[in-house]
Structure 1
């Protein structure tokens, strides 16, 4: 009989950005086993149609569920905005969480003025998920959202601080603050963006609160595992199982910066979401 508590937690993203969420999860839940799937063959999700993102999200989630997991984390803002409810319905009663709701809760808690700026991908901004989530929590909140597509490329190239990163940050955020000087909170609505926090801080100054949804998502996962009695028994920290749908070499090279530790291509499993058969992993003892 399989011990549900010992099953891994599945995490998926369109690429490597969600490794910032995995990093926060591992810090919060060091005894848990994680399987991370980056759909690198089809990134970025942020420029795709909602129908495509939903289809990709279902395929990625099914791949993880077929491996035997106890919890599904959507570590992609675009996929969270499009697919979280569909995946909850499809895989109930297994818990499913996206990054938008925890990030919105943290943004509302951080803002004293109720004026919040969201930096995200084109797809997340276009879908309005953060705007809806924040105003659902705080109906009087004023939310401005800015698509920052170049931030993804900067993050993946490692150009996360210095003159180039700061110049592009100025182009994205200066107009936001000109249009609404009362903004006091900057919510990073893409998992790539936390690695650009130092460049953003240099541009916006010390008085604006920067909120990253990774840590708040990790706290929410921990709380739900406790509520459901699904925490794995304490034990030695386990290396995450890393999977990608294309180019393990690039995934390792770029992803090491997001995960905060080095790994190489030999530690990345190449999977095909259309062809990989279901497989149940033996949970760790």
Structure 2
């Protein structure tokens, strides 16, 4: 038995953990941010797979039987290989879940026009994971994508609510909506992007729904545990939260408060 592990290349996964804790407060959680090697967004498939698998293994070693990849890039470029090839070899009774599938399962029930926009990192967009996953559940839905490379730096430099963010929010929204006048739903396909929600809503035309992943993933996890009592019974329930980073804990603690909404105390974990 052990806690639920939550992994991200950096801080963005804390926006997902925040919602998971709100939905499922009774469980124990360990968060691991690979901040020393972030961002993952522009790295290749093999590198992202290697880094993600290494961090998943660390969470397994800390006793987590279930790990959530709260990172769109890792979910897009590493999850399938880990599930299909690595888990049977290293931990056949453990499970690793991502954030793209739960969002894809939801989006087709929300769009009225059948056209959806995905705003994400270069890595997530190039992987084509969202169009592929959405098409599995909703073949009629047309998916448009746009990489937003400046949004993560804005958030990580705590400029997401400042005037400097306005230009890039307006620019990317304009570009995605220019792809089709029928887009009525936008997916924030990066866990950093919810911190830009105020700006996004400010510059977005009326009638367009914006989906952040945190609540969707939290509800999906709750449903998963109901459907898999064999996994739920392996999770400890002391409401304990532990945080680890591969970089400087002092920097992580400062940044984490922005994403998680309250103070955290992290420890450093070494990379292999």
Question: TM class, shorter-chain normalised?
Answer: over 0.9
Aligned to 2:203: 203
Kept after mapping to 2: 8 A contact 1:84/1:96? yes
Flag the 1:8–1:158 CA change in 2: closer, same or farther, 3 A: same
Aligned to 1:120: 120
Question: SS of the counterpart of 1:41?
Answer: helix
How far apart are 1:179 and its partner, in Å? 2.5
Note the aligned Cα RMSD (angstroms).
1.6
Deviations 1:73-131 (A, max 9, x none): 00100000011122223233322210000111222221111110000000000111111
Question: SS of the counterpart of 1:117?
Answer: strand
Kept after mapping to 2: 8 A contact 1:37/1:242? yes
Question: SS of the counterpart of 2:68?
Answer: strand
**In structure 2, what is the Cα distance between the partners aligned to 1:235 and 1:177?**
44
Kept after mapping to 2: 8 A contact 1:80/1:98? yes
Kept after mapping to 1: 8 A contact 2:28/2:237? no
Q: In structure 2, which of residues 11, 19, 26 is the aligned counterpart of residue 16 of structure 1?
A: 11
Kept after mapping to 2: 8 A contact 1:184/1:208? yes
**In structure 2, what is the Cα distance between the partners aligned to 1:233 and 1:74?**
17
Flag the 1:237–1:93 CA change in 2: closer, same or farther, 3 A: closer
Deviations 1:136-183 (A, max 9, x none): 211121111111111001111222234322211111120221230110
Flag the 1:235–1:39 CA change in 2: closer, same or farther, 3 A: closer
- Mean alpha-carbon deviation: is it higher for 122-131 or for 170-179? 170-179
Aligned to 2:73: 78
Within the alignment, does 1:50 sit opposite 2:45 as a pair?
yes
Q: Where do residues 170-181 of structure 1 align in structure 2 (5 Å cutoff)?
A: 170-181=170-181
State the number of aligned residues: 265
How far apart are 1:233 and its partner, in Å? 8.7
Aligned to 2:255: 254
Q: Which structure 2 segments of 5+ residues have no match?
A: none
Within the alignment, does 1:62 sit opposite 2:57 as a pair?
yes
Under a length normalisation based on structure 1, what TM-score does the superposition of the two structures give?
Answer: 0.89
Flag the 1:235–1:143 CA change in 2: closer, same or farther, 3 A: closer
Flag the 1:152–1:233 CA change in 2: closer, same or farther, 3 A: closer
**In structure 2, what is the Cα distance between the partners aligned to 1:88 and 1:94?**
10
Q: Where do residues 3-42 of structure 1 align in structure 2 (5 Å cutoff)?
A: 4=1, 7-42=2-37
Under a length normalisation based on structure 2, what TM-score does the superposition of the two structures give?
Answer: 0.93
Kept after mapping to 2: 8 A contact 1:160/1:195? yes
**In structure 1, what is the Cα distance between the partners aligned to 2:245 and 2:6?**
12
Aligned to 1:237: 239
